[in-house]
């Protein structure tokens, strides 16, 4: 675990050092859980968004996109349930004056029991060496059985309290488990209270009568309230989908793990409107389609798993998360929910406008059911960064840090380098850049030794380096160095475009999906 923490710390500092992610307002000591994307980060993020957007809108003739405003009529959030129920249970420590999410304190306590089990296994593995039968040990060791039982009982009690929204019981669990504040080390806890996660602000001057509005906590509602606009103007027939990418805001209390949980973040959401009764079949199809989208990036199929929800929100009749193995464990990156007709019905009720679809095949009107796919851009970014980072020990004692980014997502696709800064090589290299730059993000680099230049590109995940040398002037060939294998091949300048395109185009990913 400690080793994984170290790796994660290195990834975070690498992200800063190479212009991917900066702490927001850093020169003013930062703003907690808010981040800025740097020159390389914004390109990687844009490529992730492009891959998602094209997979939705180009590959499906029945999915269209929109871009709705962040500010919306406040009644929308009443209708959606966010005003009344978008809460976290909070608890304060009276000595440190620090505030915590009660559920997170308990989840961490459960995780400690998991760690204890793993430590017992690790100790036994060391003791027994090659003859160690891990599965048998886990099944039969009495110490492990005791910890597992304790964990199970705690988990059961916690789930029950969360299901019943029983704040007193959550506090009692914290007291009974003797959980202490990580800052003060004391058990001097307040009551548990509900805390709404939406940011509120005022629109209009007070003289005109200001209106309380919210920064949207999800982009989905912008799609629901535009359902009729898009369906009618686009002459859409069910089943069809509306996709949107945009910022969302949540006043997260436990904001940790870098860009995993932020207060301002970006979502890519698609609501797919279907006939009532067909939703579970569509849910199944979207669940598979979304996992295919992730796996097409080639980051390793074993890094993903589904987490099917046992406890469903009152409006859902099926839900699953796609989790990714981050250095700090398997974590949710995307949610796929069968949301029934809850949202459209609620907006019909609160707006007083009829929101129905006339189905010409059935010759009847109904409120469509909805399958939602919802993925966080920043979490996706983090999963790509974490799975790409590698410190490699090279032959000859040399070391390199390389980002094995999926080539279509890399911020820079190729870097062109004259071997030396004279003899007409820079001019030749510039000529190549002038040609490639229309299709690929291309860097020109002539500073430092060629080895150092390769390392700089490896560190930002550039899939190709092109080196111009004296032979280039004679026969129009260059060396093309591939990032992961570091192999160099001599190729014709005329072939560069094709060779690079085959590897780095988003189309190459999309083709795997269709």
Residues contributing to the site for ligand GAP (CB under 6 A): 218, 220, 250, 252, 261-262, 265, 267, 269, 332-335, 372, 374-376, 378-379
| CA 488/CA 230 separation, integer angstroms | 51
Are 475 and 445 in contact by the 8 Å Cβ rule? The answer is no
Q: Which residue is nearest to ligand GAP (CB)?
A: 376
Beta strands 240-249 and 63-66, pairing class = parallel
CB of 253 to ligand GAP, least distance (A): 10
Between 321 and 458, CB nearer to ligand GAP: 321
Between 331 and 453, CB nearer to ligand GAP: 331
Between 100 and 189, CB nearer to ligand GAP: 100
CB of 466 to ligand GAP, least distance (A): 37
Are 242 and 270 in contact by the 8 Å Cβ rule? The answer is yes
CB of 269 to ligand GAP, least distance (A): 6
CB of 362 to ligand GAP, least distance (A): 28
The token duo for 90 is 């909070």
Between 267 and 442, CB nearer to ligand GAP: 267
Tell me which residue of 266, 314, 215, 209 sits closest to 45, measured CA to CA.
Answer: 266
Query: Sign of the C-alpha dihedral, residues 327, 328, 330, 331?
Result: negative
CB of 403 to ligand GAP, least distance (A): 21
List phi, psi (to 5°) of 481.
-105, 130
User: Would you tell me the crossing angle of helices 377-388 and 2-17 to the nearest 10 degrees?
Assistant: 110
Between 248 and 402, CB nearer to ligand GAP: 248
Between 335 and 411, CB nearer to ligand GAP: 335
CB of 502 to ligand GAP, least distance (A): 31
Between 43 and 378, CB nearer to ligand GAP: 378
Q: Which helix (H) or strand (E) holds 369?
A: strand 369-376
Between 372 and 458, CB nearer to ligand GAP: 372
In Å, what is the CA distance from 250 to each residue of 114, 201, 215, 315, 432?
30, 13, 8, 21, 46
Are 413 and 442 in contact by the 8 Å Cβ rule? The answer is yes
Q: Of how many residues is the chain composed?
A: 514
CB of 77 to ligand GAP, least distance (A): 13
| CA 430/CA 424 separation, integer angstroms | 10
In Å, what is the CA distance from 234 to each residue of 64, 109, 228, 230, 271?
9, 51, 10, 5, 15
User: Would you tell me the crossing angle of helices 102-128 and 167-176 to the nearest 10 degrees?
Assistant: 40
CB of 346 to ligand GAP, least distance (A): 14
CB of 511 to ligand GAP, least distance (A): 26
Between 335 and 408, CB nearer to ligand GAP: 335
């Amino acid at each position: 675990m400690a080793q994984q923490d170290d790796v994660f710390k290195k990834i975070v500092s690498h992200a800063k050092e190479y212009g991917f992610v900066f702490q927001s307002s850093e020169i003013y000591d930062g703003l907690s859980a808010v981040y800025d994307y740097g020159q390389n980060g914004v390109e990687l993020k844009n490529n992730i968004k492009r891959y998602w957007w094209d997979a939705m809108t180009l590959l499906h003739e029945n999915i269209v996109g929109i871009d709705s405003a962040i500010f919306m009529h406040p009644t929308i959030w009443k209708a959606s349930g966010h005003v009344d129920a978008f809460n976290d249970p909070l608890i304060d420590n009276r000595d440190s004056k620090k505030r915590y999410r009660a559920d997170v304190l308990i989840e961490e306590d459960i995780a400690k029991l998991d760690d204890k089990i793993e430590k017992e296994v690790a100790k036994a593995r060391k003791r027994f060496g090659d003859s160690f039968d891990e599965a048998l040990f886990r099944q039969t060791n009495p110490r492990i059985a005791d910890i597992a039982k304790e964990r199970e009982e705690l988990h059961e009690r916690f789930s029950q309290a969360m299901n019943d929204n029983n704040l007193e019981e959550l506090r009692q669990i914290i007291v009974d488990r003797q959980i202490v504040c990580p800052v003060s080390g004391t058990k001097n806890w307040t009551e548990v209270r509900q805390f709404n996660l939406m940011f509120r602000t005022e629109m209009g001057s007070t003289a005109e009568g200001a209106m309380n509005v919210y920064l949207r906590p999800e982009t989905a509602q912008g799609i629901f309230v535009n359902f009729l606009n898009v369906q009618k103007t686009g002459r859409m027939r069910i089943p069809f989908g509306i996709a949107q990418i945009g910022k969302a805001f949540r006043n997260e209390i436990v904001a940790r793990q870098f860009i995993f949980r932020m207060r301002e973040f970006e979502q890519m959401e698609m609501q797919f409107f279907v006939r009532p009764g067909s939703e579970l079949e569509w849910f199944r199809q979207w669940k598979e389609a979304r996992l295919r989208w992730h796996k097409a990036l080639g980051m390793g199929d074993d890094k993903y798993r589904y987490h099917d929800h046992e406890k469903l929100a009152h409006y859902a009749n099926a839900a699953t998360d796609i989790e990714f193995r981050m250095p700090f464990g398997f974590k949710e990156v995307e949610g796929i929910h069968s949301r029934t007709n809850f949202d459209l019905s609620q907006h019909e009720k609160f707006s007083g406008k009829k929101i129905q679809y006339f189905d010409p095949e059935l010759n009847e009107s109904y409120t469509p059911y909805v399958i939602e796919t919802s993925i966080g851009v920043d979490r996706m970014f983090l999963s790509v960064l974490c799975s790409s980072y590698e410190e490699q020990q090279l032959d000859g004692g040399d070391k390199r840090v390389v980002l094995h980014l999926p080539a279509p997502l890399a911020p820079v696709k190729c870097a062109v380098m004259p071997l030396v800064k004279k003899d007409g090589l820079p001019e030749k290299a510039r000529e190549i850049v002038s040609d490639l730059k229309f299709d690929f993000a291309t860097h020109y680099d002539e500073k430092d030794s060629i080895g150092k230049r390769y390392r700089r590109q490896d560190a930002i995940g550039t899939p190709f380096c092109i080196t111009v040398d004296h032979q280039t002037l004679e026969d129009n060939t260059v060396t093309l160095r591939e990032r992961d294998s570091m192999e160099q091949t001599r190729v014709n300048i005329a072939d560069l475009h094709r060779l690079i395109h085959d590897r780095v185009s988003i189309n190459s990913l999309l083709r795997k999906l269709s």
